[in-house]
Amino acid sequence: MEILAFGVQSDEKPLIEAAFAGQHDVRCLDVFLTEDTAPIAAGHEVVSTSVNADLSGAVLRTLAAGGTRMIAQRSTGFNNIDLEVAERLSLRVARVSHYSPHSVAEFAWALAMAVNRRIVRAVGRTRDFDFRLDGLLGRDMHGRTAGVVGTGKIGEAFTRIAHGFGMNLLGWDVEENPACTALGMTYVDKERLLAEADLISLHVPLLPATHHLIGAPALAAMKDDAILVNSSRGGLVDTRALVTELRAGRFTGVGLDVYEAEAGLFYVDKSLEGIDDDTLARLVTFPNVIVTSHQAYYTSDAVGQIIEATVRNVADYLAGRGSENFLVPAR
């Protein structure tokens, strides 16, 4: 059987091909799954998609009409998939329920430290042989307060790093993580966390209840010199409200690896044509903001685990088995 994989990065392609070698042929495409590209999948029983794939009802109906019966998404998040339509079409849908939490947690810390210590500005200056320190003043993380919003596997990994820095730990989640409390974390309501934390890092899934979790009221509640990091899902932050606060001169720094309107932008070279997203264009002009292209997960360790799980998901589908990865199981 030939599996069609959409949205495959150049670094990812040899890993996917090696993982499926001897089991199935795999055809890797660098284009993303959209309404326009969905017809390409005709005749492929199994399709693999990336995190920014469009799996709306219209796309799912095109896939099903072309003979697709299983979708293996190479990510944990699934807010891009219309699961109700998939179930009506008898499409089995699987994701990767977990992979290295350290990849995302470490990248979140890289963003936090980069904005805190003005790394991007400093590197830009030294490349021009400008070695002044003006405007590069950072601050110690030791003794300050980290607010971790979401303390699952990734949030726990982030907390362990914060503990290593010697920070005070505040957490907010629907359930307490004993591993985090053992590190000295105090669970508080969201309002207290926002008001007291010097560094706020988001590690919750994007659900209707968490959409714009960090909106205008939450941003207003934060310290003027706080650092905000989002390496989870772009929709957690109301970006327009964030731009308004940044224009008012608030926040030491903001590190975003995700953006609520990233589909169609991230993972694509727009350098020669520009973008028509005024909010993103304004956001990247702030000197205390770093935006990266949803790459926190992108380590050889994590990508390898994602691909291994995808191979298992395909094998489980063909064998008629289920697992924790299946969002739409067999009927």
Q: Which residues are catalytic?
A: 233, 262, 294
Q: Which helix (H) or strand (E) holds 146?
A: strand 145-149
Specify whether the CB–CB gap between 330 and 318 falls below 8 A: no
Give Cα separations from 289 to 29, 170, 234, 240 (angstroms): 32, 24, 15, 14
Amino acid at 301: D
As a whole number of angstroms, the distance between CA 28 and CA 38 comes to: 14
3-class state of residue 255 by DSSP: strand
Q: For the packed helices 101-116 and 119-127, what is the interaxial angle rounded to 10 degrees? A: 60
Give the pairing of strands 70-73 and 92-94.
parallel
Q: Tell me how many helices (H) and strands (E) the chain has.
A: 12, 13
Burial class (CB in 10 A: 0-12, 13-18, 19+), 66: middle
Strands (E), 163-291: 168-172, 186-187, 199-202, 227-230, 253-256, 289-291
Per-residue tokens: 235: 């929709």
Q: Which helix (H) or strand (E) holds 3?
A: strand 2-5
Give the pairing of strands 2-5 and 25-28.
parallel
